[in-house]
């Protein structure tokens, strides 16, 4: 127990330095994290990320910022950092709302998080159905409709191609039957 109390005494060299957390995030790494998480978050229709999704997010962060063992991030560290950033956003959002437009957040990630989890994304369920869908969902629906139409077109072309091939083969069979009796 002497070792523990020695490290806590003011005369010890370790107590003169502030403790450094091993999982400190730079602004650049946090920015990369928000980008990677935000893409997954939107891909899942603003749903919760699964462990594999978090691992992909961590891989994205590590590809740019995980050059040393100290800066390498796990999926759990990424999730914890996003939770912390969300809390900071909610604090900033409350300050902005309380100021009635007099306060503008200078936090560098505020605008990006506002797009992802802000008030335009309904935080509470309305009691009556909405009159219009939020724009990102409408864009997503348009994109899905375009994909559906392209698939239907490709399917119809494939069907026509198979139909034509079948007709050609039937003609060959008919010609083959007509020419066989005359050869005898």
Percent of the chain with pLDDT over 90: 48
Check pLDDT > 70 for residue 123: no
Burial class (CB within 10 angstroms; exposed 0-12, middle 13-18, buried 19+) of 80: middle
Q: Would you say residue 147 has pLDDT above 60?
A: yes
Tens of pLDDT, residues 10-52:
444 445 555 555 568 999 999 999 999 999 999 888 889 999 9
pLDDT of residue 21: 58
For helices 51-65 and 27-43, give the axis angle rounded to 10 degrees.
150
> Is residue 102 helix, strand or coil?
coil
Highest mean pLDDT among 87-96, 141-150, 173-182: 87-96
Alpha-carbon span 179 to 144, nearest angstrom: 53
């Amino acid at each position: 127990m002497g070792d523990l109390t020695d490290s806590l005494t003011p005369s010890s060299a370790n107590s003169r330095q502030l403790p450094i957390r091993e999982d400190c995030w730079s602004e650049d790494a946090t920015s990369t994290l928000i980008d990677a998480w935000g893409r997954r978050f939107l891909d899942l229709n603003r749903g919760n990320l699964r462990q594999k999704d978090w691992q992909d997010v961590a891989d994205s962060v590590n590809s740019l910022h995980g050059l040393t063992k100290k800066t390498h991030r796990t999926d759990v560290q990424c999730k914890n950092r996003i939770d912390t950033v969300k809390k900071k956003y909610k604090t900033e959002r409350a300050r902005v709302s309380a100021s009635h437009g007099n306060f503008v957040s200078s936090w560098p990630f505020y605008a990006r998080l506002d797009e992802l989890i802000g008030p335009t994304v309904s935080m509470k369920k309305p009691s009556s159905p909405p009159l219009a869908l939020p724009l990102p969902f409408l864009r997503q629906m348009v994109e899905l409709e375009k994909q559906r139409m392209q698939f239907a077109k490709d399917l119809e072309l494939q069907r026509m191609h198979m139909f034509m091939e079948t007709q050609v083969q039937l003609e060959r069979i008919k010609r083959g039957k007509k020419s066989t009796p005359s050869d005898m």
